[in-house]
Structure formats: structure tokens, C-alpha cells
């Protein structure tokens, strides 16, 4: 099992360029998430998808769009990159069964994509 994979690992963009960050999981999880982590900060939720075909905004959704392509894949798109979007982006997945799992939500994280916007 590869777990959660992300591509690319590193990316440099110029202001105004667009790109898509890819994420895939092989654990058959229903829920998937995109976070960003700025230097010295905790992670902030951008978007999440509780199941295939649904997406919802998190804490910092502005400037991003997402697509839950199928159960395995969840992509994050920056339409017009800005320097404020320079960050490390993490994708995660979980099999949240709140009532069945005794309150446990174990999210599995990918290795991250380090994005610099100049």
C-alpha cells in the first residue's frame, strides 16, 4: 500500500500561472482533505470531500478549486497563483465512521507539495 501520494513534490510558479496538485489514496477511504501549512504555523483546511461527488469549503478556500474525480483521487487547483499561496500543501484521507469508531478520526497524510509563487 502506498497510502496517500501527492504530485508534484516541488513546484515553482510565477504570479498568475495556474496549476493542479494531484492526490490519490489506495485505502478505500471515503473522506479526503486538502490543507496548507505556512512556515511556523499549523495546518489550515482548504477544502474537504466527505464522499465521492461532494466537496465543501474549509477555513481558507479562497483562490482554490477542488475536484473529487473518483473515490481515490482529489485534486486542488490554483487558477491564478499569488505569492500569498506560497506554502506546503498536504492531502489527507480518512475513513470517518464517527459513530462506529468510538470518536476516532485517523487522517492519513501525504508527503506534501512545496509550492513557491514568485
Partner 1 sequence: DAKTTQPNSMESNEEEPVHLPCNHSTISGTDYIHWYRQLPSQGPEYVIHGLTSNVNNRMASLAIAEDRKSSTLILHRATLRDAAVYYCIPYFGNEKLTFGTGTRLTIIP
Query: What are the residues binding partner 1 (CB under 8 A)?
Result: 4, 31, 33, 35, 40-45, 48, 50, 56, 58-59, 90, 92, 96, 98, 103-112
Decide whether 15 or 54 has the Cβ nearer to partner 1.
Answer: 54
Per the CB < 8 A criterion, the answer to whether 110 and 6 are in contact is yes
Backbone angles phi, psi at 5, to 5 degrees: -115, 145
Residue 70 C-beta: closest distance to partner 1, Å: 19
CB of 97 to partner 1, least distance (A): 9
Written as nine digits, the cell of 36 is: 496548507
Minimum CB–partner distance for residue 40 and partner 1 (Å): 7
Which residue, 19 or 43, has its beta carbon nearer to partner 1?
43
- Residue 40 CA to residue 101 CA, distance in Å, equals 32
Contact between residue 86 and residue 114 where contact means Cβ atoms under 8 Å apart: no
Amino acid at each position: 500500500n502506498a497510502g496517500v501520494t501527492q504530485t508534484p513534490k516541488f513546484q515553482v510558479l510565477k504570479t498568475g500561472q495556474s496549476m493542479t496538485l494531484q492526490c490519490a489514496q489506495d485505502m478505500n477511504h471515503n473522506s479526503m482533505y486538502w490543507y496548507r501549512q505556512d512556515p511556523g504555523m499549523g495546518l489550515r483546511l482548504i477544502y474537504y470531500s466527505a464522499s465521492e461527488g461532494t466537496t465543501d469549503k474549509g477555513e481558507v478556500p479562497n483562490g482554490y478549486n477542488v475536484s473529487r474525480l473518483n473515490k481515490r483521487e482529489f485534486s486542488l487547483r490554483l487558477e491564478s497563483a499569488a505569492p500569498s499561496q506560497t506554502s506546503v500543501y498536504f492531502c489527507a484521507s480518512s475513513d470517518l465512521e464517527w459513530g462506529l469508531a468510538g470518536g476516532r478520526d485517523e487522517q492519513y497524510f501525504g508527503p506534501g507539495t512545496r509550492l513557491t509563487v514568485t
